[in-house]
Structures are given as structure tokens and as C-alpha cells.
Structure 1
Amino acid sequence: MNGLYALKPWYADRLAGLRRALAARQVSPDTLTAAGVVCAAGAAAALAWLPAPPAVLVVAVLLAGRLAFANLDGALARDTGRTTRRGALLNELGDRAADLLVIAGFLPLAPLWLVAAAAFATTLPSWVSLAGAAAGAPRRNGGPVGKTERCLLAVVAAASGWAVPVLAVVAAGSAVTAVVRAVWVWRALGRPEAAVAAAARERGVGTERAMATGRDVASEKPAVRVAEPASSSPRRRPSPSPAPSSSPALGSLPSEHDRSLPLDPGEVSGGITHTRPQSPADRGTRLRGAR
């Protein structure tokens, strides 16, 4: 249940011309985030200090600007290729600050405990969404009482003066929204693709690439090279091929791979026996020495 958040694509299309103009003038997305916070502060001041019926126009215009800037800053960053991790952090902090400022506008109009409860409750849906995104689930937004609905309720309070009932609806609705998002995130994290996304994020692998391979990255383990066990018996290492002799008396020596010839015992070094083949000349010399 997305509530009024379902209208976001339509609203973004209405702002496309303004977004192009801002991009042409090279306006920073961080400036738009700050402008949204300023609009929220102005709406809170109008809600607190202006009487109920006349305050509605000022509050409605400023909160519409707050929602417009919240939509424009991220879209402008994506369109101009200026998305950064610091920008994402500033966007989240700006949203939370704007929400709390609007609730602070009820301080002269409602009991302090109710204002504090509403302020705390408005942060719960965002906590759940951010925790789910950190665990690998898609970012969850929307209602039943999300950011857009809270702004609309503030406009209702400015028009009617029903500060206490509106705050009670904001507090209860935000808590329900947090529960709805928590259930959705819990179910999303139980799906295999959520595990792949989380593992891909930890390994620095793109999620789409990990999903395209059809492998469960979460269950991937690094390959371990097992050393070959040493044999109990010494292994024979072939000696380098002897250089061909230029002596006509010896002629060509037999190849070291000719295992039909008897082998001289070689020296033992490091547990490895080196052998070399005996040539006919070597055998003749040994026989003459024996006699």
C-alpha cells in the first residue's frame, strides 16, 4: 500500500521542465536539499504563529515546495551524473530534518508529550527502510502515512486548527507505516535475490551481474588450494639433457629417457634423488677399473 507515493512518477513528469532548467543553470542538488529544509521550517513557523484559517495557504505552498525539492534533488543528481555518497547522506538527513521541523510547528498547539511521540513516530518508517536497504532489500517508501500524507495532514491542521487530532493520526499512522514496511522488508529478505544482492554488495560485485550468472553469491566460498601431500618415496627428477659431445670416439650419447639403460646412483639432496643414464663409455671405464 503506497498511498500518495504512487503519484510520484506523475509528479516527477510535471517537474521535468523545471529539472531541465535547473540542470542547464548547473544548480547543485545539495542546494535543492537545503531549500527543502528551509521550506519545511517556513511551514512550521506559519503553522505555529499564524491563525488557523489564514495559515493554510502559506503552509500548503511551503510544504508543496518541500515535496518538490525532495523530488528534484535526487532526480537532478541522476540526470547530471552528480550522484555521490555524500549527496545520498545529505538527502536522508535533509528529509529527517524537514519532517521534524514540520512536527515542531505543533509545539504551541498541542501537548509536549504528543508532539514528542509524533516526532519519534515519523522517523520509524525511514529507520525500517534504511535498515532493510542495508540488509539487501529494495528501499521501501510510501504510506499508508508517509512523507506526502504527513504534509497533507499538516495542511489540514493549518486549515482547521485541529492540531491534537492531526498529531494523533500522524503518530499512529507513522507507527502503522513502520510495521507495514517491516513486514514487507522481512518477506523481501527471505527471497533468494535479496541474499544475492546483499552478498554482491559485500563482495563489490554488481547485483545485476551476480543475478545474471545464475549463481547464489551468498553461498559462494573462496577457493582453497589444497597442497598435494608429499609422497613417502623419493621422486625422480630428470636431469637436464646433456650437451651433445663433439668427440667422434663417443658418438651420440643415449637419451636420458631411455630407461632400458642401467642408471648410476646419483646424489641425494633435499630428499630428491637425481639420476643420470650410463653411457657405453662409462660402463667400459668402470669395467676396466674393476679389473
Structure 2
Amino acid sequence: MNGLYALKPWYADRLSGLRRALAARQVSPDTLTAAGVVCAAGAAAALAWLPAPPAALLVAVLLAGRLAFANLDGALARDTGRTTRRGALLNELGDRAADLLVIAGFLPLAPLWLVAAAAFATTLPSWVSLAGAAAGAPRRNGGPVGKTERCLLAVVAAASGWAVPVLAVVAAGSAVTAVVRALWVWRALGQPETAVAAVARERVVATKRAMATERDVASEKPVVRAAEPASSAPRRRPSPSPSPSPSSSPTLGSLPCDHDRSLPLDPGEVSGGITHTRPQSPADRGTRLRGAR
């Protein structure tokens, strides 16, 4: 019996584009929690001071914003990795403050005792859910008259002016929701110990992740990575070059010569397979020319 809470996945999907835009602009989830409280205060002021039919539109818009911000703050924290213990506490306090502010809007329209009874009754379902979660059961939401239904009933009161009947329905429905959640939590805690222990382990892991994220954000120390070597292959020593054999020795004529290469070379005698060459002087050239004549 989740009531209108069953529409939460559909509603969260409609808000996915806005959530991505908020994440791109690095908006803090705590800012969204505070914005939800402000919307609830505005709806309460409109309910208390504006006449019945014209107040309905403004109350509906502000309470829709209150529900949107209540959905966005937790989802944004999970998407951006900014879930912290302080953020979880602020989220719970913001929800309770928003609920009480909406009920406070009935103060000029209903008896004080009924407003006080409704304010007390609206906090009971959350107390039961938090107590069950502390004992190891999963968090229970929804209701017959949960947060979404209470917002809808406030819009009905703003449109019709039936503040007293609507407030009585809110008080009675919230009490019934608390009883339904308490029975569900009681059955969950009566399951085998292994199932409860699994839920408790999941909660411990989530808490440790939140603590690690909180420490990282608090330290804000840059992480310097050591430079990796260009190549992980082991270095090899160069193998010694083999000594040249006599048969493979190059000739002196093939070796580079420091003499002026513009002078013609005269082949000399060949001895031992090595050709001796020397530069030809001008006197030698003249001798050769006379011998050729």
C-alpha cells in the first residue's frame, strides 16, 4: 500500500534532465534541500493568507516544487558522489521542517488543538521508518497518507476552503500510515537473521562509503601520481660486435681518406691481397705522360 509514492520512479525519470543540468553546474544537494523548505514555507503562507479558490494554484505550484526538490537532493548526491552523513541528516531535518511548515499554514483556518494533533501525526510515519532502519530493516516509505498525499490534501484545502475536514483527514491518515509502516517493519525484523544481517551489511557499506567521500571532500589534497617509465621492457646490454676476419677485411681503397679527393689515385702494387694506393703527384703525372709518348 504505497499510495502515490508508487509514482516516484516515473516522477524521478521526468526530472532526469533537470538533475543532469544541476550536476553540470555543480549545484550542492544541500541547496536543493533548503529550496524545498522555502517552497513549503511559501505554500503555507499562501494557504494561510490567500482566499480559498485563488490560493489553490500557487499552493499547488509551490508544493510541486517542494516534492521535486525532495526528490532531486538525494538523487543528485548519489549521481555526483557527494553523499555524506551530514547530508543525510540535513535531508531528514529538511523533510520534517517542510511537513510542519505546511501544517502551520492551517493555523488561521482550524482550531489549534487540531493543528497540533495533525503536526504530531505527520511526524509519526517518519519516526517509524527511521526506527526500523536503525534496527536493520529496509527504509519504508509511502503510505496510505504519506508526504505526497499530504501535499495533495493541502491543495484540496486551498481550493475548497475545507480546512478543518482536510486537516482531520491528514491527522487520521498519518496515524494509520504510521501503524501500517510499524507492522511492515515488525514483519521484516522477524525474518531470518541472515536476511536482516544482509540489510545491515548493506547499510554499513553505504555508511563507510559516505564517510570516505566526506573525508576526501574535507581533505581536498591533490593526488600526485608517479611518472610511469616510458617502456616496461627490460634493458639489454649491446652484444659485442664480432672481430673482423681476414677474409672480410675491407680494402684500404674502400676506407675513407682524408686526402683531397680531387687528386686522381694511382693504383700501386698488390701484395698480400691488399691494394696500396697513394695520391698521384704532379711529377708522377708528367712521368706517365712522357712514358706514354
TM-score w.r.t. the length of structure 1 is 0.69
Which stretch of the first structure deviates more once superposed, 279-288 or 248-257? Answer: 279-288
In the TM superposition, residue 143 of structure 1 has moved relative to its aligned partner by 1.4
Q: Which residue of 1 aligns with 2:100?
A: 100
Distance 1:261 1:61, change over 3 A: same
Which stretch of the first structure deviates more once superposed, 205-214 or 277-286? Answer: 277-286
Q: Do the aligned partners of 1:261 and 1:277 also contact (CA within 8 Å) in 2?
A: yes
Q: How big is each residue's C-alpha offset from its partner over 1:201-254, in whole Å with a ceiling of 9 and x where there is no partner?
A: 599578999999999999999999999999999999999999999999999999
Residues in 2 aligned to 1:269 and 1:199: alpha-carbon distance in whole angstroms: 99
Root mean square deviation, CA, Å: 17.2
Residues in 2 aligned to 1:272 and 1:195: alpha-carbon distance in whole angstroms: 96
SS of 1:245's equivalent in the other structure is helix
Residues in 1 aligned to 2:233 and 2:171: alpha-carbon distance in whole angstroms: 79
Residues in 1 aligned to 2:136 and 2:191: alpha-carbon distance in whole angstroms: 10
Which stretch of the first structure deviates more once superposed, 144-153 or 201-210? Answer: 201-210
In the TM superposition, residue 197 of structure 1 has moved relative to its aligned partner by 2.6
In the TM superposition, residue 96 of structure 1 has moved relative to its aligned partner by 0.1
Q: Which residue of 1 aligns with 2:257?
A: 255
Which stretch of the first structure deviates more once superposed, 251-260 or 135-144? Answer: 251-260
In the alignment, structure 1 segments of 5+ residues that lack a partner are none
Q: Do the aligned partners of 1:53 and 1:159 also contact (CA within 8 Å) in 2?
A: yes
Residues in 2 aligned to 1:227 and 1:207: alpha-carbon distance in whole angstroms: 34
Q: Which residue of 2 aligns with 1:204?
A: 204
Residues in 1 aligned to 2:190 and 2:70: alpha-carbon distance in whole angstroms: 31
Distance 1:241 1:57, change over 3 A: same
In the TM superposition, residue 26 of structure 1 has moved relative to its aligned partner by 0.2
Residues in 2 aligned to 1:229 and 1:93: alpha-carbon distance in whole angstroms: 52
Q: Do the aligned partners of 1:23 and 1:76 also contact (CA within 8 Å) in 2?
A: yes
Q: Do the aligned partners of 1:254 and 1:279 also contact (CA within 8 Å) in 2?
A: no
Residues in 1 aligned to 2:287 and 2:200: alpha-carbon distance in whole angstroms: 71
How do 1:133-144 and structure 2 match up within 5 A? Answer: 133-144=133-144
Distance 1:260 1:58, change over 3 A: same
In the TM superposition, residue 105 of structure 1 has moved relative to its aligned partner by 0.1
Distance 1:284 1:41, change over 3 A: farther
SS of 2:248's equivalent in the other structure is coil
Q: Do the aligned partners of 2:251 and 2:275 also contact (CA within 8 Å) in 1?
A: no
Residues in 1 aligned to 2:272 and 2:182: alpha-carbon distance in whole angstroms: 65
In the TM superposition, residue 192 of structure 1 has moved relative to its aligned partner by 1.8
Q: How big is each residue's C-alpha offset from its partner over 1:24-63, in whole Å with a ceiling of 9 and x where there is no partner?
A: 0000000000000000000000000000000001000000
Residues in 2 aligned to 1:131 and 1:266: alpha-carbon distance in whole angstroms: 112
Q: Do the aligned partners of 1:125 and 1:177 also contact (CA within 8 Å) in 2?
A: yes
Distance 1:227 1:275, change over 3 A: farther
Which stretch of the first structure deviates more once superposed, 197-206 or 101-110? Answer: 197-206
Distance 1:105 1:278, change over 3 A: farther
Q: How big is each residue's C-alpha offset from its partner over 1:50-98, in whole Å with a ceiling of 9 and x where there is no partner?
A: 0000000100000000000000000000000000000000000000000
SS of 1:248's equivalent in the other structure is coil
Q: Do the aligned partners of 2:144 and 2:177 also contact (CA within 8 Å) in 1?
A: yes
Q: Do the aligned partners of 2:37 and 2:95 also contact (CA within 8 Å) in 1?
A: yes
In the alignment, structure 2 segments of 5+ residues that lack a partner are none
Distance 1:203 1:82, change over 3 A: closer
In the TM superposition, residue 282 of structure 1 has moved relative to its aligned partner by 105
Residues in 2 aligned to 1:122 and 1:245: alpha-carbon distance in whole angstroms: 106
Identity %: 94
Q: Do the aligned partners of 2:252 and 2:274 also contact (CA within 8 Å) in 1?
A: no
Q: Do the aligned partners of 1:128 and 1:182 also contact (CA within 8 Å) in 2?
A: yes
Distance 1:214 1:78, change over 3 A: closer
Residues in 1 aligned to 2:272 and 2:179: alpha-carbon distance in whole angstroms: 70
Task: Between the two structures, name the one with larger relative contact order (CA 8 Å, sep ≥ 6).
Answer: 2
Q: Do the aligned partners of 2:43 and 2:102 also contact (CA within 8 Å) in 1?
A: yes
TM-score w.r.t. the length of structure 2 is 0.68
Q: Do the aligned partners of 1:196 and 1:207 also contact (CA within 8 Å) in 2?
A: no
Distance 1:145 1:272, change over 3 A: farther
Residues in 2 aligned to 1:132 and 1:45: alpha-carbon distance in whole angstroms: 34
